[in-house]
Amino acid sequence: MTDQQYFRDKVVIVTGASSGIGLAVARLFGSFGSKVVMAARSIDKLRSLAATVNADASRVLCVKTDVSVEEDCRELVRQTVEKFGRIDILVNNAGLSMRAMFKDLDLSVLHRLMDVNFWGTVNCTKAALPYLLETRGSVVGVISIAGYSALPARSGYSSSKYAIRGFLDTLRIEHLTDGLNVLVFAPGYTSSNVRNAALTADGSAQGETPLDEGKLMSAEAVAEKMARALKHRRSEVILTPLGRATVLMHRLLPRFTDKLTRKFIAREANSPFK
């Protein structure tokens, strides 16, 4: 069965769908003939992008959603079911990053990271779960290699991604016998806006990326890997050779990996270590 055949007419909710991985995922599923629900805080941006997901407006729903707000997530699910009658896939992609040493960090930044990244995943999953169980569907949590091996100067980011992994691994075990597929999806460094919007110590946006975005995996390539994993109902995906090597080294040689990771981050442009 082709991807187009497998995903056609499936109802897919994508949070953080206004840019980066979320937008690439929405567009890919739209190209497969899925009915796509795009969720993000900027409804105007979503509406401007909807035609790039599917030219048939009846197959795309845009919902203004702040995933850190539980009621917004319930409303997202309500509108989805009202329009399309079901939910087959929930992609929890909305997220924030940060870049600052913990000793310099205003704790409001950490709270904000957890509210969006962790609680956003929990809120949306809780609202969608009854419908996903009906369809024996899939819930995806987009985490990071930082959810397996912590990154310095990203205390809030790494903490939230570890937390998402723990939550989804628990959810998977609870539903081993009723057909729910739970995918922990960990891209490596991906070209996106996430580093430009990353929060600094005082909560302001970083404004520029410290990496050469052109050398990173594209959001479109990440979306294709996710679709393949969902088709085969995988429970875990770790992308890129560097990402897989980092996770393995962290398991086998944790202290050595800590030292390598610190050296790697210290080489970034305007590193907080400098």
> What residues act catalytically?
157
Question: Is there a contact between 62 and 50 (Cβ–Cβ < 8 Å)?
Answer: yes
DSSP bridge pairs for 182: 139
Question: Is there a contact between 187 and 91 (Cβ–Cβ < 8 Å)?
Answer: no
**Strand (E) or helix (H) holding 73:** helix 70-84
**Strand (E) or helix (H) holding 229:** helix 219-231
User: Number of helices (H) and strands (E), helices first, in the chain?
Assistant: 10, 7
DSSP string spanning 91-120? EE-----B-B-GGG--HHHHHHHIIIIIHH
Structure token pair of residue 69: 């707000």
